[in-house]
Structure 1
Amino acid sequence: MSVFKAAAVQMRSGIDPRRNVADMEALVREAAGKGAAYVQTPEMTGAVVRDKEQQAAAFTTEENDPVVAAGTRLSAELGIYLHIGSTAIIRPDGKMANRAFLFGPDGERIATYDKINMFDVDLDNGESWRESATYEPGTAATVADLPFARLGFAVCYDLRFPQLFRSEALAGAEVLTVPAAFTRQTGEAHWHVLLRARAIENGAFVIAAAQGGKHEDGRETYGHSLIVDPWGRVLAEADHDEPGVVIAEIDTALSAQARQKVPNLKNAREFALNEVAVPQAALRGAAS
């Protein structure tokens, strides 16, 4: 089977994981009720919180995490593939991971992925983030086989690193995933174009569940959860920042068709980089 319904769940997670799990559960049930076989939640489903003391209260180990427990329970109860876009997990070494989980219809965990690229940026209007101060970056890309698609993993800022998506596409991924908590500032500028670019250049579907709106900790996220087809067409969009669900039909045969029409994955060639230094005197108007 290559045709299935996929859902992207848009949330506005706060600082209390238990409340966020309740919100997630309601939206996941809505998606499953509409026939989605694969449901994706956004980055930081468990808690969006920047205060260190509040983080200590909200974050825990994988064994004790309420989002992981809910993912196990809901996937089995609803008979779906449930992709927790990410939640903060305390690793056995005491460091923190921004970790995605994929659960199967039997409730078993199929795969995990730790966000590789840390959002360390200085934006306009004084907005600054240092994700590496909290999280340990992952070191491996992940692809997972579902009965109806091969899935590639990413989280939020990973979107700006096309080599990650290319490696997953070359490994056979027909569906690329980008659960996110994009800031409003960067989302308004780059969200749509980057997601469509990753779809087009890899001949793959892209599913991106997003956080949206003004959060308890003061940050603003863009929303606009998207599902994009391999030709770059937007199949479904939450054209707002409110919580909700968007659903689209995925036919993985369209990925094969796109890659046949534009076989750039096969046509890519190795190349060297030549650096040419221009003598200073050769520059027009150069000072003597």
Structure 2
Amino acid sequence: MSTINEETILAAAEGTSAQGAAPDISLAASAAAGAIGLSVPPTTDGADDGEIERELQQMEDAATTLQKEGMISESEATEKRDQVARTRKLFRDLSPAERAAIVQRRREIGRELMSRQLSGAAVVPAAVRLNHTRLKPLFEQWWPYLNRMSINMQRFGRSTFGAEDQAVVTDWFEKQIGDLESYVDEQLTVAKGFRDKTESKMLALGDIVFMPSVTKPSLDIEVEAYSRFSMRLLSLMLKFDKVMDNFDFLVWNGVRDQSDVDEETSRFLRKFHPVGVRGYMTHLRLMTTVRGR
């Protein structure tokens, strides 16, 4: 099912900058601008697989199907298709500077979300230490919203989506996070095994073995997680940070080139990106229910 609704699209189209210089796209547009898979520049380290474009296409196809089945009129179907077209144009017309500003603003709001406690929520505190700078933006622009989405899905998922569609959304997230966990576990096992093998071989040859470490992490904070789902996401990021620790060893000792490491990191970001986008859009959808109460 599509998690983009008409309200978020209209909000995106009508957003204006407080200073009048550039469009201040709504939170919904922020996610979509960073995810649309067309000819525009990427906004999240190239981690763009066209997730929102597929969401928009689903909306367009759904309008045609509903019209054929007589559930909506031709004018209503046309209006929905026009909304999709306006949204596509809006995102394509954004300049690289505007797109970068959108991502930065989403990160700022994400940090604000983490500083606010949610009344009545049972939480588990968690220490988040990320050594590597490429993982910090991933955490800040997605995890705070996914964390809030996870508790609101428990509280308001049925009234927002209906029982059947709530199950569809939940199952999608479960599959995605399961696939990510398997991928990261494999990456850590391979990287650690390669490092150990390389270290043993170098020591046997009498070579100097460098043992690099990060003394100043890119992020070192404590957060409150609202669900097991949130903790699993944190675990994924922290575990891949360990993968990158092993990459550091391999680069320092001349076994791997930095470009190879960057490629592996980008692959992880691309795999995580659909979860971030879908979770962010689901968060927005749930918030329409929260605010309406």
TM-score with structure 2 length normalisation?
Answer: 0.25
Higher relative contact order (CA 8 A, sep 6+): 2
Larger Rg, first or second structure (1 or 2): 2
TM-score, with length taken from structure 1 = 0.25
More helix by share: 2
Q: Higher strand share goes to which structure?
A: 1
